[in-house]
Amino acid sequence: MYRIQVENILILIKLGCEIMGRYGCNCNGQSSGIGGFSDVCSKYIYVANEGSNSVTLIDSNTRRIVRSIGVGYVPNAIAANPMNDTVFVVNQNSNSVSVIDSSTNKNLGMIGVGYSPNAVAINPNTNLVYVANFGAGTVSIIDGNKYSVRRTLKVGNNPYGIGINLLTNMVYVTNMGDNTVSIIDGINNVVLGRIGVGYRPARVAIDHNNNLVYVTNRDSGTVTVIDGDINKPLGSIRVGASPMYVAVNHNTDLVYVANRNSASVSVIDSSSIRAAAASGITDVCASAGVNVFEIYVGQDPYGISVDNINNLIYVTKPSPSTVVVIDGDTQNVMGQITGLYTPAGISQCILGS
C-alpha cells in the first residue's frame, strides 16, 4: 500500500469507494470538500470534440449528453482538476489550453502554450497542469490557481502524452519522435532523464495501487511497463494494433488500452505484473502469469477513461463519432453514446480517470 500527501493530509490509496471516501466523497455523487478537493465526485464525463471545437458533457449517472461548450480549434486532450473544479482542454490548432469552470460549465478563457499541444495532465498535489507541446518539443507548466504558464521545459522530440505519478510526484512524458519517455521531477520541475521504450510511444497511465507506469507504443503494438519505484522498464506487453490511450481501473487493478486499428480494447491485469516483479522475474511482461484479454468495441477506438465511482470505462471513437461504455464488473459493452463530433480525449474530475 502506498501513501501520497495532498494538502498535508496523508491519504491511503485503496480500491473503489474507500479511496473516494477519503477525499470526502460518499460515492453517491456528493462531496463534503474534505482534503482540499472541491468536487472529486464530479457528475460529468468531459469529451473533447476535434470536429466541432467543443467539449461535450455526459452525465455519469444517466450516461446522456447534457450540453456542449465551445473551446479552441481542434481540442484533442482534456483533464479535469479535482482541486478547484476546473477542466483544462488542449486546443491543438490554437496553441492554447481552454479553462472550463466545472461548477458553472462556463469557458473562462484560454492560456497560450507551445506549438501544437497534444496532451494535458494535472498534479493535484501541487495544483500544476502539464501540457505536452508536440511541435515544440517542450512541456508547459501552468499554475492551476493563476491560469498562467509558470515554466517551460525542453523534453524529447514530439512529446505526445503525459502521466503523473501521485505517489512520487514524477511526471512521465512520451516522446513520439525519439521513442523515449522523459521523467520530470514534479516538485522541482526539472527533467531528470529519459527511458527508452517502444516505437512511437503515445499515451501514459499510472497504476497507483501497484506503482506501475503504462506507456502505449503505437507502432510497436505494445505497452511498456515501468516500475514507478525505480523508474526502469519491466518489459513490454503485446496488445492490439496502434494502441493509443490507456487508463487504469483502481477498483479492479485492470488496465485498459484502446487499439485504434484493431477495433478493440486490451485489458491487462496489473496486479499480476507487480506480483511477478516481486517474485524476481527478470522480464515480468513475458511471464505466463500476466493476463491480457480483448474487448471488441468496433471501429476506431482512441480515447479512454475510467469512472472509478460507477466502475465504468468510456472509450471514444472519432470516426463513427461515438463513445462506447464498458461495464467494469463484467467487461461487457453496455452500449454507446452518440451525438458527438470526432471525439478524442476524455476525462472525469476524479483521481485515476
Q: How far apart are CA 101 and CA 89, in angstroms?
A: 11
Its sign, for the CA torsion 341, 342, 343, 345, is negative
Of 19, 87, 83, 75, residue with least CA distance to 352: 19
Q: How far apart are CA 111 and CA 120, in angstroms?
A: 13
Residue 322 is classified by DSSP as: E
pLDDT at position 284 is: 66
Output phi, psi for 285, to 5 deg.
-75, -15
Task: Kindly report whether the global pTM for this prediction surpasses the value 0.85.
Answer: yes
Its sign, for the CA torsion 296, 251, 275, 123, is positive
Output phi, psi for 297, to 5 deg.
-125, -5
Q: Residue 25: what residue type?
A: C
Determine the 3-state secondary structure of 275 from DSSP.
helix
Q: How far apart are CA 42 and CA 350, in angstroms?
A: 7
Q: Residue 172: what residue type?
A: Y
Domains in the chain: boundaries: 3-348
Count of residues for the chain? 353
Output phi, psi for 330, to 5 deg.
-95, -15
Burial class of residue 31, CB neighbours in 10 A (0-12, 13-18, 19+): buried
Distance of CA 59 to the CA centre of its chain: 19
* Residue located via cell numbers 520530470: 184
pLDDT at position 19 is: 39
- Note the pLDDT tens digit of each residue in 91-104: 999 999 999 998 88
For the chain, helix (H) and strand (E) counts, in that order, are 2, 30
* Residue located via cell numbers 494538502: 7
Degrees (nearest 5) of the Cα angle 279, 284, 288? Answer: 95
Which three three-digit cell numbers place residue 137?
518539443
Where the chain has pLDDT below 50, the residues are: 1-41, 288, 351-353
Of 178, 247, 262, residue with least CA distance to 215: 247
pLDDT at position 25 is: 39
Of 200, 203, 206, residue with least CA distance to 220: 200
CA distances from 168 to 29, 207, 228, 242 (A): 29, 12, 8, 29
Degrees (nearest 5) of the Cα angle 122, 172, 70? Answer: 40
pLDDT at position 349 is: 62
Q: 3-348 belongs to which homologous superfamily? A: YVTN repeat-like/Quinoprotein amine dehydrogenase (2.130.10.10)
Q: How far apart are CA 8 and CA 142, in angstroms?
A: 22
Contacts by 323-328, CB closer than 8 A, 24 or more apart = 323/47, 323/58, 324/297, 324/298, 325/63, 326/256, 326/265, 326/295, 326/297, 328/249, 328/251, 328/252, 328/254
3-state secondary structure 47-68: EEECCCCEEEEEECCCCCEEEE
| Strand-pair partners of 223 | 216, 237
